[in-house]
Chains A and B, each alone.
Chain A
Amino acid sequence: MSLARTILSVTMLAQTVRMAVPYACAALGGVWSERSGVVNIALEGTLLVSGLAAIVLQVATGSATVGAVAAIATGGLFALAHGLIVARERVDAIVSGIALNLVAAGGTRFVLRALYDSSSNSPAVAGFGVRLGAGASPEVALLVRTLADPLTLLTIVLAGATAFALYRTPFGLRARASGEDPQAAASAGVPVVKVRVLAVAIGGMVCGVGGAALAFDQHQFQSGMSGGRGFIALAAVILSGWRPLRAVLACTVFAALDALQIVLQDQSRLPREVIEMFPYAATLASLVVIGLTRGAGRPPAGLGKHTESA
């Protein structure tokens, strides 16, 4: 099979959608946080803790829906901590992110061992287990299952909802105002700290959907399974100029590279390690593109800035 036919295949499309969901959710979470002015490298940890929460609750209750809700709640709480620490306590956002990522990486392994006596992976779960497309060829069935997965659909809804909420609602306006010029927003009566904490927490909930999707997709939790996706999503946010729909688009490109890696692994003569580097090298390349074009837009002017202390 030629490379072009591989890239245009149904498998490739299905894998791309499948891989795009966690990226897109993390990126939307990043947009929420950063548009309100809070740098968020804790997305990586958010994916981990929410992914674990999804599995733990599905193992406990047998319900994928309960698992997904737990993931959303856990992601929200984890991001809430980041929001409070950064926006309210004014700790450097990168330092807070580093600390939270360490807590997430260690904490998820701790919980894995505490609950399942393994530091590498959880027992298997069914996820949502969509059973459509039974009669079709395996490739088409995968595509149908992926598209009909509740979390894929939720992600599409969340992309639209994030764009709508940020640009068309009073809260979105307040969040963006806090991110552009916190001092001016405060003068106009916007409770900047509260708005930021809330925006970061909402972002964490959206990112939590991605964590659940990541874990359900593998039908288990594996330690460190976020694999840098939170950071790649952040690169997508920057590439998009901090705009939600473009961020999702950028994520789809990164997901396509991931998918290419999966599709090529079976048939390429390139060493496995070279193929594994694709998404990361592509992220570096995208950073160059951002630098050359000054990105598709500038960062929120108040990113990382606070109001004058009261």
Chain B
Amino acid sequence: MNGERKTALLSTVAGLAAAWIAFDLLVFAYGESPRRLLALVFEGTWGSPYGAGQVLFKATPLLFTGVAVDLAMRAGLFNIGAEGQLAIGSLAAGIVGAMVPPWMPAPLAIVVVLGAAALAGGAWALVPAILRARFRAHEVISTIMMNRIAEATVGLVLGLGFALKGTVRTLDIAPAAHLPRLERFFPALRGSAVSVSLAFAVALALFVGWSYRRTRFGREVSLVGMNPVACAAERIAVRSRVAQAMILSGALAGLASSATVLGYKGYFEQGLGAGAGFGGLAVALIGRGSGVGLVLAALLFGTLQQGGLAINAYVPMELMDVIQGVVIMAVALADARVRDAIARSAKGAFG
């Protein structure tokens, strides 16, 4: 455990250092002052209650998709399809949310709408899950294809009469299905779009993290990811656990709509939440299998996104996407270095 902690610390330092270096180099190459822009990033994010609220707002869907991708990764799957699962889940949330009858009390309405989002996201993950379990199709390819099909499906369904006339958005969801913004409880956050969905996301991350150790399903999923052959020998239903993990991952990705459809816009429109699926990959790769780690990683990438907006007038905010990739790479490289060093020292001791 101690060794694991040390590795995590080292990787975090490597990731942050790489992010900083990449930021400086790119900003400098663009002809701006890195120091001044870094100050702007800070001012626009953690430097004010509003900025902090916006970071939390950006981090919320990332945390949902991060937990989702992490779940699949536990079972040994790369769910690159969170993007599409989120889109279809959000579409379902928008459509069902608009159909909620007026007599329905708020808690029930929220459960129904989010249930629909989770079902739709899970259903979208069903295809890669079956392809993987039955036909051994690599999920990286199938989930990417499902993302593309999701994009077209959203347009198709909206075009079938679920959109407000002349727009690419659904009708407004019922007031009962709205999740309140946190500014209602913390007036300092005024104007920022962070909602109760954040608390939901954090609770989910901690609960899912707990369940890998304390529930049969969770333990089996993570064991299957570590060693499917041994699990098969122990009569764990490997293929169905892997498929279930993928479907559940899709359902969790669909829940990210709570931050966007229920907590922010109050309707679904084409492209709402786009990018959060790929961001979830980054969160899962950095958060690496602990609830707290996922929360911190979501905060990091939320900060990058919001920071990108803060400096967009001086440097293209796409800079932050590059940094996101750099962070993933730096952490992976640091991990690989440590793993090799451990392997070498073990060889020295036993060979």
Contacts and interface: CB of A to CB of B under 8 A. Distances in A.
Interface residues of A, number: 46
Given A90-B340, A102-B282, A290 B135 contact: yes
Most buried by A among B80, B337, B343: B80
Given A94-B78, A103-B325, A119 B332 contact: no
A129 interface: no
B43 interface: no
Interface stretch (A63-71, A170-178, A281-289): A281-289
Interface in A19-42: 41
Contacts, number: 138
A92 B332 contact: yes
A139 B131 CA distance: 39
B180 interface: no
B219 interface: no
Contact of A287 (B141, B147, B148, B282): B141
The SS class assigned to the B binding surface is helix
Contact of B324 (A102, A119, A235): A102
Nearest to A271: B156
Contacts of A94: 78, 140
Interface string A106-146: 11011001100001000000000000000000000000000
B149 A95 contact: no
Contacts of B80: 98
B329 A85 contact: yes
Interface residues of B, number: 50
B148 A280 contact: yes
A288 B131 contact: yes
A90 B340 CA distance: 9
Contacts of B159: 271, 273
Contacts of B78: 94, 98
Interface in B275-331: 278, 281-282, 285, 316, 318-322, 324-326, 328-329
B26 interface: yes
B332 A238 contact: no
A90 B336 contact: yes
A103 B318 contact: no
Identify the 8 closest CB pairs spanning chains A and B, nearest first. A291-B135, A106-B321, A102-B325, A103-B325, A287-B137, A113-B316, A273-B156, A99-B328
Contacts of B149: 277, 280-281
B87 to A, nearest CB: 13
Contacts of B148: 227-228, 277, 280
A105 interface: yes
A148 interface: no
A94 B137 CA distance: 15
A89 interface: yes
A291 B321 contact: no
Name which of B78, B149, B155, B325 has the most chain A CB atoms within 10 A of its CB: B325
Given A107-B322, A277-B149, A114 B332 contact: no
